[in-house]
Protein backbone atom coordinates (compact mmCIF):
# COMPACT_ATOMS: atom_id res chain seq x y z
CA UNK A 1 0.00 0.00 0.00
CA UNK A 2 1.23 3.49 -0.78
CA UNK A 3 2.20 5.44 2.30
CA UNK A 4 0.07 8.39 3.34
CA UNK A 5 2.91 10.80 2.76
CA UNK A 6 5.76 9.09 1.00
CA UNK A 7 8.27 11.83 1.78
CA UNK A 8 7.31 12.21 5.45
CA UNK A 9 10.32 11.76 7.73
CA UNK A 10 10.04 9.40 10.70
CA UNK A 11 10.77 12.34 12.99
CA UNK A 12 7.63 14.00 11.61
CA UNK A 13 5.55 10.92 12.43
CA UNK A 14 6.98 10.84 15.97
CA UNK A 15 7.48 14.52 16.90
CA UNK A 16 7.65 13.58 20.59
CA UNK A 17 7.26 10.34 22.58
CA UNK A 18 3.50 10.27 23.18
CA UNK A 19 3.74 6.87 24.91
CA UNK A 20 6.21 6.49 27.76
CA UNK A 21 6.60 3.88 30.49
CA UNK A 22 9.10 2.24 32.80
CA UNK A 23 10.63 -0.76 31.05
CA UNK A 24 10.96 -3.83 33.28
CA UNK A 25 12.28 -7.38 33.36
CA UNK A 26 9.29 -9.68 32.99
CA UNK A 27 9.72 -12.04 35.94
CA UNK A 28 11.57 -9.88 38.49
CA UNK A 29 9.71 -6.71 37.46
CA UNK A 30 12.98 -4.87 38.02
CA UNK A 31 13.27 -1.46 36.41
CA UNK A 32 15.66 -1.71 33.46
CA UNK A 33 15.12 1.70 31.87
CA UNK A 34 12.60 3.95 30.20
CA UNK A 35 10.50 3.17 27.15
CA UNK A 36 9.79 6.16 24.94
CA UNK A 37 8.07 5.78 21.58
CA UNK A 38 10.40 7.81 19.39
CA UNK A 39 11.20 7.45 15.71
CA UNK A 40 14.35 5.50 16.54
CA UNK A 41 12.51 3.13 18.87
CA UNK A 42 9.78 2.53 16.27
CA UNK A 43 12.47 1.69 13.69
CA UNK A 44 14.17 -0.73 16.10
CA UNK A 45 10.88 -2.46 16.97
CA UNK A 46 10.16 -2.94 13.25
CA UNK A 47 13.65 -4.09 12.28
CA UNK A 48 14.06 -6.51 15.20
CA UNK A 49 10.41 -7.70 15.34
CA UNK A 50 9.87 -6.51 18.90
CA UNK A 51 6.45 -6.18 20.51
CA UNK A 52 5.80 -4.10 23.61
CA UNK A 53 3.59 -5.48 26.36
CA UNK A 54 2.42 -2.81 28.78
CA UNK A 55 1.10 -5.07 31.54
CA UNK A 56 0.01 -4.54 35.13
CA UNK A 57 -2.38 -1.79 34.05
CA UNK A 58 -4.66 -2.86 36.90
CA UNK A 59 -8.04 -2.40 35.26
CA UNK A 60 -9.78 -1.73 31.98
CA UNK A 61 -10.89 1.61 33.39
CA UNK A 62 -7.25 2.71 33.74
CA UNK A 63 -6.41 1.60 30.19
CA UNK A 64 -9.45 3.50 28.94
CA UNK A 65 -8.46 6.63 30.87
CA UNK A 66 -4.93 6.59 29.44
CA UNK A 67 -6.02 6.05 25.86
CA UNK A 68 -8.63 8.80 26.09
CA UNK A 69 -5.83 11.09 27.27
CA UNK A 70 -3.67 9.93 24.36
CA UNK A 71 -6.51 10.64 21.91
CA UNK A 72 -6.70 14.21 23.20
CA UNK A 73 -3.03 14.78 22.34
CA UNK A 74 -2.20 17.10 19.45
CA UNK A 75 -0.19 14.63 17.37
CA UNK A 76 0.80 14.47 13.70
CA UNK A 77 0.12 10.75 13.23
CA UNK A 78 -2.62 8.29 14.15
CA UNK A 79 -2.72 5.59 16.80
CA UNK A 80 -5.06 2.73 15.92
CA UNK A 81 -6.60 1.26 19.07
CA UNK A 82 -7.76 -2.32 18.48
CA UNK A 83 -10.25 -3.58 21.04
CA UNK A 84 -10.54 -7.26 21.85
CA UNK A 85 -14.28 -7.46 21.13
CA UNK A 86 -17.23 -5.53 19.71
CA UNK A 87 -18.76 -5.58 23.20
CA UNK A 88 -15.70 -3.84 24.60
CA UNK A 89 -15.74 -1.38 21.71
CA UNK A 90 -19.39 -0.58 22.49
CA UNK A 91 -18.60 0.12 26.15
CA UNK A 92 -15.93 2.65 25.19
CA UNK A 93 -18.01 4.16 22.41
CA UNK A 94 -20.93 4.77 24.78
CA UNK A 95 -18.62 6.16 27.46
CA UNK A 96 -17.47 8.76 24.94
CA UNK A 97 -21.06 9.45 23.85
CA UNK A 98 -22.13 10.12 27.43
CA UNK A 99 -19.15 12.40 28.00
CA UNK A 100 -20.38 14.45 25.04
CA UNK A 101 -23.93 14.56 26.35
CA UNK A 102 -25.17 12.06 23.80
CA UNK A 103 -27.28 8.95 24.32
CA UNK A 104 -25.84 5.45 24.50
CA UNK A 105 -26.64 3.08 21.64
CA UNK A 106 -27.03 -0.72 21.50
CA UNK A 107 -23.96 -2.74 20.57
CA UNK A 108 -25.51 -3.48 17.16
CA UNK A 109 -25.57 0.27 16.39
CA UNK A 110 -21.95 0.94 17.34
CA UNK A 111 -19.81 1.74 14.26
CA UNK A 112 -17.02 -0.63 13.33
CA UNK A 113 -14.53 2.20 13.93
CA UNK A 114 -14.59 5.80 14.99
CA UNK A 115 -12.11 8.65 15.21
CA UNK A 116 -11.34 10.54 18.40
CA UNK A 117 -8.47 13.02 18.20
CA UNK A 118 -5.29 11.27 17.16
CA UNK A 119 -6.77 7.81 17.80
CA UNK A 120 -9.08 5.53 15.85
CA UNK A 121 -10.92 2.88 17.86
CA UNK A 122 -11.89 -0.42 16.22
CA UNK A 123 -11.65 -4.23 16.46
CA UNK A 124 -9.56 -6.69 14.40
CA UNK A 125 -12.60 -7.19 12.16
CA UNK A 126 -12.89 -3.44 11.58
CA UNK A 127 -9.34 -2.94 10.34
CA UNK A 128 -9.95 -3.79 6.70
CA UNK A 129 -12.87 -1.38 6.48
CA UNK A 130 -10.79 1.26 8.20
CA UNK A 131 -8.04 0.95 5.58
CA UNK A 132 -10.59 1.36 2.81
CA UNK A 133 -12.52 4.19 4.46
CA UNK A 134 -10.24 7.10 3.66
CA UNK A 135 -10.36 8.21 7.29
CA UNK A 136 -6.67 7.53 7.88
CA UNK A 137 -5.39 10.88 6.67
CA UNK A 138 -2.11 10.61 8.58
CA UNK A 139 0.45 7.80 9.01
CA UNK A 140 -0.14 5.06 11.60
CA UNK A 141 2.24 5.66 14.52
CA UNK A 142 1.24 2.51 16.37
CA UNK A 143 -1.26 -0.33 16.65
CA UNK A 144 -2.44 -0.41 20.24
CA UNK A 145 -3.97 -3.76 21.14
CA UNK A 146 -6.33 -3.55 24.13
CA UNK A 147 -6.02 -7.22 25.08
CA UNK A 148 -6.73 -7.50 28.84
CA UNK A 149 -5.44 -11.07 29.26
CA UNK A 150 -3.42 -11.44 26.04
CA UNK A 151 -5.93 -13.78 24.44
CA UNK A 152 -7.12 -12.13 21.20
CA UNK A 153 -4.74 -14.30 19.20
CA UNK A 154 -6.64 -17.44 20.26
CA UNK A 155 -9.52 -16.71 17.85
CA UNK A 156 -8.42 -18.02 14.46
CA UNK A 157 -11.41 -20.17 13.49
CA UNK A 158 -15.12 -20.26 14.27
CA UNK A 159 -16.81 -23.66 14.69
CA UNK A 160 -20.47 -23.96 13.79
CA UNK A 161 -21.63 -27.53 14.26
CA UNK A 162 -19.68 -29.70 11.86
CA UNK A 163 -18.24 -26.71 10.04
CA UNK A 164 -15.10 -24.71 10.67
CA UNK A 165 -14.85 -21.16 9.35
CA UNK A 166 -11.50 -19.41 9.10
CA UNK A 167 -11.67 -16.19 11.07
CA UNK A 168 -8.07 -15.28 11.78
CA UNK A 169 -8.16 -12.18 14.00
CA UNK A 170 -4.35 -11.93 14.38
CA UNK A 171 -4.02 -12.07 10.61
CA UNK A 172 -6.38 -9.10 10.28
CA UNK A 173 -3.94 -7.18 12.49
CA UNK A 174 -0.87 -8.33 10.58
CA UNK A 175 -2.45 -7.47 7.22
CA UNK A 176 -3.30 -3.98 8.44
CA UNK A 177 0.20 -3.53 9.83
CA UNK A 178 1.93 -4.46 6.58
CA UNK A 179 -0.49 -2.24 4.64
CA UNK A 180 0.62 0.81 6.64
CA UNK A 181 4.39 0.76 6.38
CA UNK A 182 6.00 4.20 6.46
CA UNK A 183 9.55 4.67 5.14
CA UNK A 184 10.05 0.91 5.36
CA UNK A 185 9.02 0.84 9.03
CA UNK A 186 6.11 -1.25 10.32
CA UNK A 187 3.89 0.48 12.90
CA UNK A 188 4.83 -0.71 16.41
CA UNK A 189 2.64 -3.37 18.00
CA UNK A 190 1.85 -2.35 21.57
CA UNK A 191 -0.33 -4.46 23.85
CA UNK A 192 -2.16 -3.32 26.99
CA UNK A 193 -2.98 -5.96 29.60
CA UNK A 194 -4.52 -5.87 33.07
CA UNK A 195 -2.38 -8.34 35.11
CA UNK A 196 1.42 -8.35 35.50
CA UNK A 197 3.40 -9.68 32.54
CA UNK A 198 4.81 -12.58 34.57
CA UNK A 199 1.31 -14.02 34.96
CA UNK A 200 0.65 -14.10 31.20
CA UNK A 201 1.71 -16.74 28.68
CA UNK A 202 3.36 -14.53 26.07
CA UNK A 203 4.86 -17.21 23.79
CA UNK A 204 1.71 -18.04 21.76
CA UNK A 205 1.02 -14.38 20.98
CA UNK A 206 4.69 -13.81 20.16
CA UNK A 207 4.56 -16.57 17.55
CA UNK A 208 1.19 -15.66 16.04
CA UNK A 209 2.07 -11.97 15.62
CA UNK A 210 5.46 -12.77 14.08
CA UNK A 211 7.51 -11.29 16.92
CA UNK A 212 11.05 -12.29 17.75
CA UNK A 213 10.82 -11.05 21.31
CA UNK A 214 8.99 -8.78 23.74
CA UNK A 215 9.81 -5.70 25.68
CA UNK A 216 7.84 -5.30 28.91
CA UNK A 217 6.66 -2.13 30.60
CA UNK A 218 4.86 -1.39 33.85
CA UNK A 219 1.35 -0.15 33.20
CA UNK A 220 1.26 1.51 36.60
CA UNK A 221 3.96 3.86 35.30
CA UNK A 222 2.42 4.54 31.91
CA UNK A 223 2.43 8.17 30.73
CA UNK A 224 0.84 9.46 27.56
CA UNK A 225 0.60 12.77 25.74
CA UNK A 226 3.19 15.44 25.24
CA UNK A 227 6.00 15.19 27.80
CA UNK A 228 6.19 18.04 30.29
CA UNK A 229 8.66 20.77 29.44
CA UNK A 230 11.70 20.82 31.70
CA UNK A 231 12.74 24.37 32.44
pLDDT at 43: 97
**Dihedrals phi, psi of 190, to nearest 5 degrees:** -125, 125
pTM: 0.92
Check if the beta carbon of residue 10 is closer than 8 Å to that of residue 43: yes
Beta-sheet strand order (sheet of 140-146) = 31-36, 19-24, 213-224, 50-55, 189-192, 140-146, 78-83, 119-122, 113-116
pLDDT at 176: 97
pLDDT at 153: 82
CA distance 116 to 70: 10
pLDDT at 138: 92
- Containing 206, the helix (H) or strand (E) segment is helix 203-208
pLDDT at 178: 96
Rg of the Cα atoms in the chain: 17
CATH code of the domain occupying 16-224: 3.40.50
> In this structure, how many other beta carbons lie within 10 angstroms of the beta carbon of residue 170?
20
Q: Which residues in the chain land under pLDDT 50?
A: 1-7
User: 16: buried, middle or exposed (CB in 10 Å: 19+, 13-18, 0-12)?
Assistant: middle
pLDDT at 1: 42
- Residue 31, helix vs strand vs coil: strand
Amino acid sequence: MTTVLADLAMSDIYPFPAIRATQIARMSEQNIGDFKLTAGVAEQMSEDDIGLLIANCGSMERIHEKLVDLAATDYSATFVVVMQSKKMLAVWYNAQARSLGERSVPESKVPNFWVSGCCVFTTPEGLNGLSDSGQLSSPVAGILMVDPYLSTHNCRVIRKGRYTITHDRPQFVLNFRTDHVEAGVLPPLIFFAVPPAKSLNTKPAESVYGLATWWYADGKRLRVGEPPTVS
